[in-house]
Amino acid sequence: MQTGIASLSAAPTLGELLPVLLGGSELTRSEAAQLVNAMLSSDAPDAQIAAVLALLVNKGESSDELAGFADALYQHALPISIPGEVLDTAGTGASPAKTFNVSSAASFVIAAAGCAIAKHGGRAATSRSGSADVLTALGVRIDCEPETAIRCLRELGICFLFAPKYHPALARVAPIRKALGIRTTFNLVGPMVNPCGAKYRLLGVADEARMNDVAGALAQLGVARAWVLRGNDGLDEITTACSSRVLDVHDGRTCELSVSPTDFGISMRPTDTARAGSVDENAATVRAVLSGARHDVARDLVVLNAAAALHVRTGDGLRECAERAQKAIDDGAAFKKLEALITMSHSTEGAAR
């Protein structure tokens, strides 16, 4: 594909790249990485960064471009010595169907069911409560040092990797993204760039039109397996209200699936009572589900999404994974994981003993 970038310098400036985007050309993976590096430069004018972000959204990012963005962000990321054979669950946000923070609750169930999870996330960008917000409200220290996160994963099977800590270069564009007030490429790429390069992913995408590109980018990034998913009610999770569309990325190939709550042995029902507005309401719902106090649709959503993640990691059947998730809640193991993470995340003891 002719883009015009080939004639530019080895490390083009944003001013050199901007006319290429204005012409409507798509970038190759390496060109997209160059674009990110140019945006993150301290010399890049804010107005040019804003223009690039708006042009990309208007054009629609390709899978090559998303993969290139991820490549560049990995180059700038703070490294952490966690093996990639772990799970991560995340979402791009902006779902019109608002529920409590399902993926954060599910992460404790996943760990209690025996699969290690290095959950990567930040504060809310398109909702009232992001994963970092709800975990903070629950008492978890979200910005603990890498050595503490490593210890949490090793001893508890779960840790939280706070995006701003591991992707400090993104501070350069954060105020520009906020001022734009629209979804940008970083909303799609952020959930892809787990600092430890997690090989197993459950990634919710609220915008159905972007699912194929996100799945294609994950395939290029070399994940072992991922489910890129969206409830057909607009939820960026596996939903209880209807079927959910899934793009199953496995060893570089993608196939499309449709899954229903009944495939997990769970009844179909609306998600209305699983809504939570404030951060404190989110935290209260997560705590109630994990403690076994709720036996309603909020619990079902957590079980569904934990089971989907367990299936992605193990290949076991959906019903079997759902039973494991339910057991992890019923026997108190999931709630104990939360309590243990709260304690250990505040520990000053390093990874080495």
**Average pLDDT score over residue span 295-301:** 97
**Average pLDDT score over residue span 21-34:** 91
* Chain Cα centroid distance, residue 119: 8
User: Which of 117, 70, 63 is CA-nearest to residue 90?
Assistant: 117
State whether 36 and 91 are in the same domain: no
| Count of the separate structural domains present in the chain | 2
Q: Which pLDDT score is estimated for 351?
A: 43
**67 belongs to a structural domain:** no
* Chain Cα centroid distance, residue 311: 17
Distance CA 132, CA 114 (A): 23
Give the model confidence (pLDDT) of 255-287 as tens digits. Answer: 999 999 999 999 999 999 998 778 999 999 999
**76 belongs to a structural domain:** no
Distance CA 278, CA 177 (A): 23
State whether 55 and 91 are in the same domain: no
Confidence check: pLDDT of 289 > 80: yes
Average of per-residue pLDDT values in the chain: 92
Q: How many residues does the chain have?
A: 353
**132 belongs to a structural domain:** yes
State whether 245 and 164 are in the same domain: yes
pLDDT category at 3 given cuts 50, 70, 90 is very low
pTM for the model stands at 0.93
State whether 273 and 198 are in the same domain: yes
- What are the C-alpha distances in Å from 269 to residues 91, 131, 236, 290? 22, 25, 16, 20
Question: Angle 227-232-234 (CA atoms, 0-180°, nearest 5)?
Answer: 90
**352 belongs to a structural domain:** no
- What are the C-alpha distances in Å from 128 to residues 30, 51, 275, 276, 342? 35, 27, 12, 9, 22
Higher per-residue confidence, 218 vs 14: 218
State whether 241 and 310 are in the same domain: yes
**77 belongs to a structural domain:** no
State whether 312 and 244 are in the same domain: yes
**27 belongs to a structural domain:** yes
State whether 168 and 308 are in the same domain: yes
First to last CA, the chain: 53
CATH at residue 207 = 3.40.1030.10
**79 belongs to a structural domain:** no
User: Residue 25 belongs to what domain range?
Assistant: 5-59
Give the model confidence (pLDDT) of 163-205 as tens digits. Answer: 999 999 999 999 999 999 888 999 999 999 999 999 999 999 9
**353 belongs to a structural domain:** no
